Amino acid sequence: MAQPDARSVPPAVPTDPAAPALLAPAPWVEERGAKVRITAVRTFLTAPHGCPHLIVRVETNDPGLYGLGCASDPQRTLAVRSVLDAYLAPLLVGRDPDDIEDLHRLMLNSAYWRGGSITGNALGGVDVALWDLKAKRLGAPLYSLFGGRVRTRADAYTHVDGTDAAEIADKVTAARERGYRHVRVQAAVPGSDTYGTGAGGTPDGRALRHRAVPWDSAAYVRTVPAVLTEVRARVGDGTELLHDVHERLDPRQARDFLRRVEGAGLYFVEDLLAPEDSAHFAGVRAGSSVPLAVGELFSDTGQFLALLDGPVPVIDFARVRIPTLGGLTPVRKLAAYCELRGVRLAPHGPADVSPVAQAATLALDISSHAFGVQEAAVFKPAVAEVFPGTVTARDGGLTPHETPGHGVDFDEAAARRHPVPEPLEHDRWALLRSTDGSVQRP
CATH assignment of the domain containing 246: 3.20.20.120
User: pLDDT value at position 11?
Assistant: 43
pTM over 0.85, yes/no: yes
Say how many residues make up the chain: 442
CA–CA separation, 53 vs 354, rounded Å? 6
What is the average per-residue pLDDT within 396-419? 98
- Asked if the structure places residue 90 within a domain, the reply is no
Cα 70-384-359 angle, rounded to 5 deg: 40
What is the average per-residue pLDDT within 215-232? 98
Render pLDDT for 165-203 as a digit per residue (tens, 0 to 9).
999 999 999 999 999 999 999 999 999 999 998 754 444
- Is 182 designated active site? no
- Asked if the structure places residue 415 within a domain, the reply is no
Which domain covers residue 206, as residue numbers?
Answer: 145-404
Please state, for a pLDDT cut of 90, what percent of the chain lies above it: 85
195, 220, 348, 418: the catalytic one is: 195
What is the average per-residue pLDDT within 83-94? 98
- Long-range Cβ contacts of 23-26 (<8 Å, 24+ apart): 23/90, 23/91, 23/93, 23/94, 24/94, 25/94, 25/95, 25/96, 26/95
Does residue 321 carry a pLDDT above 60? yes
Does residue 388 carry a pLDDT above 60? yes
- Asked if the structure places residue 428 within a domain, the reply is no
- Asked if the structure places residue 232 within a domain, the reply is yes
Q: How many domains does the chain have?
A: 1
- Asked if the structure places residue 170 within a domain, the reply is yes
- Asked if the structure places residue 421 within a domain, the reply is no
User: pLDDT value at position 34?
Assistant: 53
Q: Please answer whether residues 41 and 57 qualify as being in contact, where contact means their C-beta atoms are separated by less than 8 angstroms.
A: yes
- Asked if the structure places residue 100 within a domain, the reply is no
49, 104, 159, 246: the catalytic one is: 246
Q: Helices (H), strands (E): how many in the chain?
A: 15, 12
Does residue 77 carry a pLDDT above 80? yes
Better-scored residue on pLDDT, 287 or 209: 287
- Asked if the structure places residue 298 within a domain, the reply is yes
- Is 246 designated active site? yes
Render pLDDT for 351-377 as a digit per residue (tens, 0 to 9).
999 999 999 999 999 999 999 999 999
> How far apart, in Å, do the first and last CA atoms of the chain sit?
26
Beta bridge partners of 189: none
